[in-house]
Amino acid sequence: MSPDLLESKSIGALLGTFTGDALGMPVEGYTYEMIVSAYGQVTELLPARLGLGTYTDDTQLMIGVAESLIECGVFKGEHMANRFVANFDSQRGYGRGAVEVIYRLSQGVPWRSAGAKLFGGGSFGNGGAMRIAPVGVMYFSDTDSLLDTAEKTAKITHTHPLGWGGAVLQALAIGLSASSEPATPLDTDSFLNELVSCIQPEWEAYQHKLEHVRELLSQPFDEDEVIERLGNDISTQGSVPTAIYCFLHQPDSFEDAVLTAVNLGGDTDTIGAMTGALSGARLGYEAIPPEWRDQLENGQSGRDYVMELGKQLAEHASKILTGLRN
């Protein structure tokens, strides 16, 4: 892969997360029917609580993952946990479990135990998966490191197997998207087979979900059936397969994939962010409509900063790619 394409894909995965998050946030929690009655369809960035084009916890945590991987060159749990604490802004709409873990971390609780007893057996919220794009990009050419790093990255906050397992699946899907040649049609069956082959017994519920994805892809799009069979909620198991579906349904259009995700309703910022990461990793950041890119917030830690992180991450990804080839 050319260095330019790798850089564009890396930026695309990070900016794709940001764009999907910003598109979905104004309607987060709306049902499909509520979106239809309020907007018909969401087709553009809408005014939001913190302003047009602003991001939420999804992007803020993804920034922390990227910063830590770039600075350390490898997963360092304490460093990444410290980035989550330093970046935390309570206005960005964090899940209550995540708020609790970040508070514990800020009080000196070790990162290995801060998320352990949340909700009894650890959180299965989608917060581990929504921030995972930098891991999928950096290790797209080294699957063992990708799987291991994604698991560790998610477990800082999400220790329920469905929580971290779904994050691993999403990271691998981003890695596969990053490896794909954008000018060649995507083989969605092989893509799903690769994902199924990494599923571990503790989170085998995803196998069934991915078979639903395969069946849905062979049928005409029907939002009710997608929502019923895959979900559109805040759980990892009810959102990661949905994002994978939205991407595989329209693998060659960032706009169509992400708008499909957002218009399903439910956890729209997060399913939008995860679909955006997958699409951006395949198509590169130029595939994100320029009018959307222009409208993304661009103050401190805004669009230009995220693009710079994407560039730096591509340098790490490139070293790993070349190292393996030598």
Which residues contact Mg ion by CB under 5 A?
56-58, 93, 267, 269-270
Q: How far is the CB of 48 from ligand R7I (least distance, A)?
A: 13
Q: Is 270 in the site for ligand R7I (CB under 6 A)?
A: yes
Q: How far is the CB of 234 from ligand R7I (least distance, A)?
A: 5
Q: Is 124 in the site for ligand R7I (CB under 6 A)?
A: yes
CA distances from 21 to 116, 122, 159, 261, 273 (A): 27, 24, 24, 11, 5
Q: How far is the CB of 244 from Mg ion (least distance, A)?
A: 17
Q: Is 156 in the site for ligand R7I (CB under 6 A)?
A: no
# binding residues, ligand R7I (CB under 6 A): 20
Q: Is 27 in the site for ligand R7I (CB under 6 A)?
A: no
Figure out which of the listed residues 267, 275, 313, 316 binds ligand R7I, where binding follows CB under 6 A. 267
250, 257 Cβ separation under 8 angstroms: yes
Residue number, 64 or 127, with CB nearest to ligand R7I: 127
Q: How far is the CB of 58 from Mg ion (least distance, A)?
A: 4
Q: Is 7 in the site for ligand R7I (CB under 6 A)?
A: no
Q: Note the residues at the interface with ligand R7I (CB under 6 A).
A: 56-58, 93, 95-98, 119, 121, 123-127, 160, 234, 267, 269-270
